[in-house]
Amino acid sequence: MIEEKVIIKNETGLHARPAANLVKKASTYPCVLKIKKGDKEANLQSMLGVLSLGVSKGDEVSIIADGQDEEETLKQLVDFINHLEG
Amino acid sequence: METEGDVEMEERIRTGVAAATGIAIGKVLIWKNRVLPVTKRTVTDCEGEKDRYREAVAAARRELVELRSKVAGKLGAAEGEIIEAHLLMAEDPELTAGVLQKITEEKVNAEYALESVIHSYEALLEGVDDPYLRERGADLRDVKTRIIRLLQGEKGQNQVKIEKECIVVADDLVPSETAQLDQGKVLGFVTAKGGMTSHTAILARSLGIPAVVGLGEEISQLAEGKLLIVDGAQGVVISQPSADCLRVYQEKQEKARAERARNYRRLAAVMGEEAISKDGKRVIIAANIGAPVDIEQALAHGCDGIGLFRTEFLYMSKNHLPTEEEQFAAYREVLEKMGEKPVIIRTLDIGGDKHLPYLQLEEESNPALGYRAIRICLDQTAIFQTQLRAMLRAAVYTRAPGGLQIMFPMISSLQELRAAREILAEAKSALVSSGIKVGKIQVGMMIEIPSAALLTGAFAKEVDFLSIGTNDLIQYTLAVDRMNGKVAKVYDEYHPAVLRLVKYTIDMAHAEGKPVGICGETAGNPRLIPVLFGMGVDELSMNPGRLLETRDLVRSMNYKAAKDLAEKVIMMAETSDQVKEYIAEFK
């Protein structure tokens, strides 16, 4: 299980459109993925989970990957988040 | 004007949120959101109930998939993405797990289980700070309504017919309903709830009709069938307008309509046409863009290609150097969207005047003459390599016959050009030996420093194309800081010295058989375009807003006459006033 912190930089944070893109992307990986903000944690493959975490621009979150290819998966997801638009 | 008394009789102005600009004058149509009552029942067959839920979700999925393709076609990608979010919500693993668990544990019906689970998510969203996120609660409720409707056995979506043109007034509007609206008949939207980013606002903006949202409880005062004026820009609605008020708004509307019709006619007439003069001389009309998101505007105004894709946005909107992957994604997006149309991407062109803390650029006393653009790239080759690698990889995705055109800025000497080309060659062979696919490319450079302009002949031998950056060329030739307001008058794009340099560049490049474009603001200046066209420039690249007018202008010109004008300006004008005189005599 590995973890990496990332700061949300896109303008509107993780709301419907970027959240949808992120969740769709996360759902393509076989391992267990979580996103953590403060002490709240959510399933990164769950749209509702991500939305209800209420992540805005400037927030720092942790991405946790556990399972098959977790290192590569985490790297790609963090990169994806840093490139989120909208 | 607001007065005391019965609100139904007097003109009344109410203010909400200005969600979408425009003026609508029409009759009110009260839109009732469907309310589906949910009763809690005890079930004995939990497995059966769970199956019933799963089937309803599958049916919701089918509806949403169909809706997505319809909506994306009509309303554009942004709306399509909201439906996408609905899809994800409907199939959300946490939601489904929660509902199924509730059915099992409490032995309740699926409708009730769904409603309670969604309710807890809604509560979570309400507690969030961000107004945009809070509004997503509306999306959640719409998904819930859809699934409950299916559970209750209603097949097919809400088909609501709107007979006459009207202004739709509602508590709130959700995608599942508005997608069914007959667009042609809706003149505007007014809702009690919502803000700038609610579904109603987004929809209205993409439909190009006015909307005022967040009107609050007062909305109940708007009566069915009564005349209403909606002023989207001001965020007001006016009921029972006086004759004067009505007239003023009708005039505003007419003006706007006439303007739109004019633009539309010009659009229709010129959009698909080639920019060819009456006597058959062609020029490429291209767009300057600063980010992938600008492509839509560029294509909407009919560009032949991208003459300048500025890459600085990648370096400026983040607090770290853009990775190869980030850059690759951006370049690829632009190339895919442009298809067969050529794209010129310029390598990093930034300096100390932009604040980039991670790049550690020191403050300089002459940033325009200092450590910037290609000078940074040739010094910090890792940054340069990353960008070039991303471009080479992205080049695979263009369908332009010439491949991706890579352009180096601020070249002042042959050594610089050769050094840049070497680094490009290194980047390419590194990729190739790693087995990574590399696309077809062309290499070009900007002519923006006088030394480069004067040696164009030598440069033209070693590049595939050139592009004149008139903004900086003017700056360096006239020794004027274009950012310095105090000497703004000295910055003069009509200066004959600059025009002579441009002509010289074009002539020398053509002597080597290489094409020349112009990508500074001058390229979009309708007064100077006849001169530039007459000099034989091959491409004019400008802000998307100027594309149509320019295309129109070229088509109206006679090349021979423009050529004569250019010669006259170059031979005889010694001051910019004289240049302007000759231009005024033209046509």
Residue B582 lies in a domain: no
B323 interface with A at CB cutoff 8 Å: yes
CATH of the domain at B115: 1.10.274.10
In this structure, the answer to whether residues B189 and B319 fall within a common structural domain is no
Q: How many domains does chain A have?
A: 1
CA distance B213 to chain A (A): 20
Catalytic, A83? Answer no
Q: How crowded is residue B273: how many other Cβ atoms within 10 Å of its Cβ? A: 12
Residue from the list B85, B89, B95 with its beta carbon closest to the beta carbon of A17: B85
Scan residues 12-71 of A and list those with Cβ closer than 8 Å to B.
12-13, 15-17, 19-20, 23-24, 42-43, 45-49, 51-52, 54, 56
CA distance A48 to chain B (A): 6
Q: What separation in angstroms does the CA of B296 have from each of B274, B319, B333?
A: 19, 27, 12
CA distance B319 to chain A (A): 9
In this structure, the answer to whether residues B94 and B129 fall within a common structural domain is yes
Scan residues 26-85 of B and list those with Cβ closer than 8 Å to A.
78, 81-82, 84-85
In this structure, are residues B305 and B340 in contact, taking their beta carbons and an 8 Å threshold?
no
Structure tokens at B116: 């309670």
Residue B2 lies in a domain: no
CA distance B539 to B585: 25
Which residues in chain B have their CB less than 8 angstroms from residue A12's CB? 130, 132
In this structure, the answer to whether residues B460 and B358 fall within a common structural domain is yes
- Whether A48 sits inside 8 A of B94 (CB atoms) is yes
Structure tokens at B389: 């690698």
Q: How many domains does chain B have?
A: 3
pTM of the predicted model over 0.90: no
Per DSSP, the three-state class of B26 is strand
Residue from the list A48, A56, A79 with its beta carbon closest to the beta carbon of B121: A48
State which residue of chain B sits closest to A25, comparing Cα positions: B88
In this structure, the answer to whether residues B287 and B376 fall within a common structural domain is yes
CATH of the domain at A10: 3.30.1340.10
Residue B290 lies in a domain: yes
B199 interface with A at CB cutoff 8 Å: no
- Whether B326 sits inside 8 A of A56 (CB atoms) is no
In this structure, the answer to whether residues B206 and B311 fall within a common structural domain is no
Residue from the list A23, A52, A79 with its beta carbon closest to the beta carbon of B121: A52
State which residue of chain A sits closest to B136, comparing Cα positions: A16
In this structure, the answer to whether residues B67 and B19 fall within a common structural domain is no
Chosen for mutation from A15, A34, A85 (greatest number of chain B CBs closer than 10 Å) is A15
CA distance A68 to chain B (A): 20
Residue from the list B78, B93, B132 with its beta carbon closest to the beta carbon of A43: B93
**Residues of B designated catalytic:** 199, 519
- Structural domain of B398: 282-558
Look at residues B151, B183, B211 and tell me which one is the last residue of a structural domain: B151
pLDDT for position B558:
96
pLDDT for position B140:
85
Residue from the list B93, B121, B132 with its beta carbon closest to the beta carbon of A12: B132
Check residues B217 and A86 and name the one with the higher pLDDT: B217
Q: What separation in angstroms does the CA of B407 have from each of B348, B352, B442, B448, B470?
A: 10, 21, 8, 12, 15
- Whether A13 sits inside 8 A of B130 (CB atoms) is yes
In this structure, the answer to whether residues B69 and B144 fall within a common structural domain is yes
In this structure, are residues A14 and A8 in contact, taking their beta carbons and an 8 Å threshold?
yes
- Whether B132 sits inside 8 A of A15 (CB atoms) is yes
In this structure, the answer to whether residues B304 and B343 fall within a common structural domain is yes
B329 interface with A at CB cutoff 8 Å: yes
CA distance B137 to chain A (A): 10
In this structure, the answer to whether residues B236 and B347 fall within a common structural domain is no
pLDDT for position B176:
63
pLDDT for position B75:
52
In this structure, the answer to whether residues B344 and B476 fall within a common structural domain is yes
CATH of the domain at B552: 3.20.20.60
pLDDT for position B185:
83
CA distance B494 to B506: 17
What's the complex ipTM? 0.71
Q: What separation in angstroms does the CA of B242 have from each of A55, A60, B12, B29, B150?
A: 48, 54, 9, 21, 47
State which residue of chain B sits closest to A19, comparing Cα positions: B85
- Return the biggest CA–CA distance within chain B: 98
Q: Which helix (H) or strand (E) holds B307?
A: strand B306-309
Chosen for mutation from B92, B117, B126, B174 (greatest number of chain A CBs closer than 10 Å) is B92
Q: pLDDT digits over A23-62, tens only?
A: 888 888 888 999 999 888 889 988 888 877 878 888 899 9
CA distance B330 to B202: 25
pLDDT for position B5:
44
In this structure, the answer to whether residues B444 and B477 fall within a common structural domain is yes
In this structure, the answer to whether residues B98 and B165 fall within a common structural domain is no
- Whether B136 sits inside 8 A of A12 (CB atoms) is no
In this structure, are residues B23 and B201 in contact, taking their beta carbons and an 8 Å threshold?
no
| A15, A25, A36, A75: the active-site residue | A15
- Structural domain of A76: 2-82
Per-residue pLDDT of chain B (587 residues; tens, 9 = 90+): 444 444 456 888 999 988 888 999 999 999 887 667 788 989 989 999 999 999 999 988 888 887 776 655 555 555 666 777 788 889 888 899 999 999 999 999 999 999 999 988 887 777 666 666 666 777 888 889 889 888 887 654 555 667 788 999 998 887 666 655 666 788 999 999 887 767 777 778 767 789 999 998 889 899 999 999 999 988 999 999 999 999 999 999 999 888 877 777 776 678 878 999 999 999 999 999 988 878 887 888 889 999 999 998 888 766 688 999 999 999 999 999 999 999 999 999 987 666 566 777 777 888 889 999 999 999 999 999 999 999 999 999 999 999 999 999 999 999 999 999 999 999 999 999 999 999 999 999 999 999 999 999 999 999 999 999 999 999 999 999 877 777 888 999 999 999 999 999 999 999 999 999 999 889 999 999 999 999 999 999 998 878 888 999 999 999 999 999 999 999 999 999 999 999 999 86
Per DSSP, the three-state class of B406 is strand
Chosen for mutation from B65, B117, B121, B130 (greatest number of chain A CBs closer than 10 Å) is B130
